[in-house]
Structure formats: structure tokens, C-alpha cells
Amino acid sequence: MAELGHEVVGVDVDPIKIANLSAGRAPFFEPGLGEMLTKANASGRLRFSTAMADVADSTVHFIAVGTPQKHGGNAADLSYVNAALDGLIPFLKEGDLVVGKSTVPVGTAADLAAKLAASATGATLAWNPEFLREGFAVQDTISPDRLVYGVQEGPKGLQAKAILDNVYAVALSNETPLVVSDYATAELVKVAANAFLATKISFINAMAEIAEATGADVTKLADAIGHDNRIGRRFLNAGVGFGGGCLPKDIRAFTARAEELGLGESVAFLKEVDSINLRRRQRAVAMATESLGGSVNGRRIAVLGLAFKPNSDDVRDSPALDVAVQLKGLGGDVICHDPEAMANARSKHPQLSFADSAADAVTGADAIIVVTEWDEYKQLDPAAVGEIAQGSLVIDGRNCLDMAAWREAGWEYRSMGRPDHDR
């Protein structure tokens, strides 16, 4: 927002995060974010604070706190959203706009709007879901592929739209599509988009299961169906499946909300989407076990990748980290590497061992398993790796390596949904 020319104050309850941000240090790895933060801090348009009172001069108040999966359940935990609004209310004034960014179950905005109306501050609420992807967050924020405003009917809604049009003036001048709707639609757009993406990935992973049993190649299948513009090739990469802080918990929260509404049947398929997704991690572990003669116990396995996707240090619900933990649990001598996510992985799973480099991880390994498709791993030279590894088994959990090159260099190359032998 500061990059786009607005005067911004960022508030968080975590003093360490605020101190880091004020010093220009991004609290997580995200390409381009550190540079942009330094520039925005220097511009004088961006400052950070732990004191809610510092929002008093602002007109637009984004709520962008997390809505994680509830402990012991599938629903979303709304306590942070509620706390943020409660904290804001004493500092709101007539004409202010509170803008919800957090991913919430449908119906939440209406509840928050009622709370806001009862506060008699004169402020209104809009719901403005966020579609940025980790790894492309800067680009997706500056140039979003669409904007959605969920607003009230009548003059309050028109006023909210006018304020948001001003906030997003740069994107709108570049003809970014805009959909203006009621609250419920705006909330649903977000979860529907993530549910669709998760379904697309699980669809191709289901095809991978069939391909594995029949000798077909899921990557060629994806290319061929992807040429149909109605289907499209993106998000049809089979492998160990989806993870992260969004897709897995969003499909579960959506299912929980639909069940609350008595509409569980409408999204019952999302349970299958979740199951297919979790099965692929098991499949990767089973493939390693089977290929190592029935047990990984005592075998040295290099796990390349821990982040849920490349260009991120996020290990929340990461298939890669899960595979590493499962192999370790089965007695494997697991040594992990990730270019960015090792610190986060270590704090969650200190029982794992970590190597300083991919080369160190593969040295002496009986098997290598690639579970996050970082460029660094795609560029590994199979002949050079063959010189330092002990065994010759490589499992490509993301279908990202050059199959022919690895086989030519003498590796037993196995992957997700592709035949085990060249035809």
C-alpha cells in the first residue's frame, strides 16, 4: 500500500515482528519483499506499531490476521479477526472503512458488520478477499488479477466502493477486473477459488494413481488435457500434493461451514480432495520403502525440499516436511535440505537432521527424494550426484527432474504417476 502511494501504519501484537519490520527486515522469505520494505520505510509513508491507538488517523483499516484451522476441529478459528475488530472499534470514527482481508467462513462479514453498527462509530465494513500466492506475493499485490469488493447495499456500500477505488486506483487504471458484490459472495469467492484449485490438483493426483496402476504417464496426460483451453495446464502438476497455510485448511473450513448450514452434501467432494491429497504423501513414502527393499530402517535418505512450495520458507502443512517426518518415523537416517525453510522446519521438527547444502545432503545417501521443486534441485547434475551418493535411487516427488538425464546417468528414477521404465 505504501508502494502504491498511500500513508500506512502496520499494527501487530507481536513486538518482535514490529521491531523487525521497522528495521526493514521481512519476517519471512518472500522474493522482492525485503527490498520493497526498505524502500517503503525510507519513503516515510510506512511505519509499524504495536499500539492500536496509532490507527486513529487512518481512514481505511485492513484486517489481515490469520484464520487458522481450530485445534481439534476443521472449522476456522475466528478469534484473531474478532480481536482485531474489537481492538479497532475504540479508534474508529465517522466515515472510516474497515476492510476484511482474512479468509473467513461465509456469514462472518455480516456478523462483524452488525457488531460495527452496534458500536455506533459511524464506520462501515467491506469484504475484500486476497488472492496473492506465496512466492509471487509482491507481484500479485501490486498487479492483482482481479479485485472483489463485498459491500452493503445503498449509500454506505457506494461510499465503501469509492474508498476502495481510491485505495486500488493504480490497479484499476490498469484495467484490473473488478467484481462488486454482497458480503456473502465476496467471502465465498475466496474459498471457492481455493477449493477449485485444490480440486484441480487432487484431480490430477487421482489420475496419477490410475496412471501408476496402468503404466500411463500423468505428465503427458496433463499436457494433453491442458491443451484444451476449457481445462488449462496450470495447477495440473501431479506429485506429493498441496500444502501451505491456505488450501488445506480452507477446504476443511469450507466443509465445516457447509455442514453447519446443513449443506454438507454440496461440498462433500472436498473430503475426497483432501484424502487424495494426503494419500500422495503416503505414496511417496511407500515408494521409498518398496524401492529400498521393504524397509527404510537405517537407510540414509536425502530429502530435498521442506517448504510447501518453492520460493517460500513456509512449512505449514507442507507435504515435503511430512514425507521427511514419516521417513524418519520409520527409522530412516533422514537428512534434509531446503534453500530457505530449514529454520522453520527445525523449530517444528527438531528430531530431523539438516545439511548445509544439497550436495552435503546427498553425500553417502542410499536414496534421494525431491519433494519441493526448487530450481536448485532441478539443476542438479545426475552424474555428479552419482559420484557422491551411495545408492542410485532417486524419487521425484514433484515430477520436476529430467527423467531421461537421471536414467542415462544410471539412476533408478521413480516419480509420481509416471512409468518406472522408459518405453
Binding-site ranges for ligand UGA (CB under 6 A): 103, 130-134, 194, 197, 201, 235-237, 239, 241-244, 246-247, 308-309
**Cβ distance to ligand UGA smaller for residue 36 or 116:** 36
CA distance 411 to 397: 15
For residue 97, list its beta bridge partners: 60, 124
Shortest distance in whole angstroms from residue 248 CB to ligand UGA: 9
DSSP string, 177-205: -EEEE-HHHHHHHHHHHHHHHHHHHHHHH
Q: Which of 240, 238, 264, 262 minimizes the C-alpha distance to 252?
A: 264
C-alpha closest to that of 326 among 22, 265, 318: 318
**Nearer Cβ to ligand UGA (84/365):** 84
Q: Is the Cβ of residue 236 or residue 284 nearer to ligand UGA in the bound state?
A: 236
Q: Of the two residues 89 and 192, which places its CB atom closer to ligand UGA in the complex?
A: 192
Candidates 357, 366, 353; CA nearest to 395 is 366
Of residues 197 and 385, the one with the C-beta less far from ligand UGA: 197
Burial 309-337 (b: 16+ CB within 10 A, else e): bbbbbbbbbbbbbbbbbbbbebebbbbbb
Instruction: Please report how close the Cβ of residue 372 comes to ligand UGA at its closest, in angstroms.
Output: 7
- Whether the CB-CB separation of 315 and 348 falls below 8 Å is answered with yes
Q: How far is the CB of 210 from ligand UGA (least distance, A)?
A: 17
- In three-state secondary structure terms, 300 is strand
Alpha carbon distances (Å) from 334 to 95, 260, 351: 57, 42, 10
- CB 144, min distance to ligand UGA, A: 10
User: Cβ closer to ligand UGA: 134 or 187?
Assistant: 134
Q: From the candidates 18, 246, 273, 304, which is the catalytic residue? A: 246
Give, for 342, the enclosing helix (H) or strand (E): helix 342-348
Q: How many CA atoms lie within 13 A of 142 on its CB side?
A: 10
To the nearest whole angstrom, how small is the minimum distance from the Cβ of residue 99 to ligand UGA? Answer: 16
Task: Please measure the distance between the N-terminal and C-terminal CA atoms of the chain and give it in whole angstroms.
Answer: 53
Asked if 406 and 382 touch (Cβ cutoff 8 Å), the reply is yes
Asked if 336 is an active-site residue, the reply is no
> CB-wise, 246 or 389, nearer to ligand UGA?
246
For the CB of residue 137, give the shortest distance to ligand UGA in the complex, in Å.
8
Question: Least CB distance from residue 103 to ligand UGA, whole Å?
Answer: 6
CA distance readout (Å), 56 to 7, 51, 73, 401, 413: 13, 10, 37, 53, 60
Catalytic (active-site) positions: 246
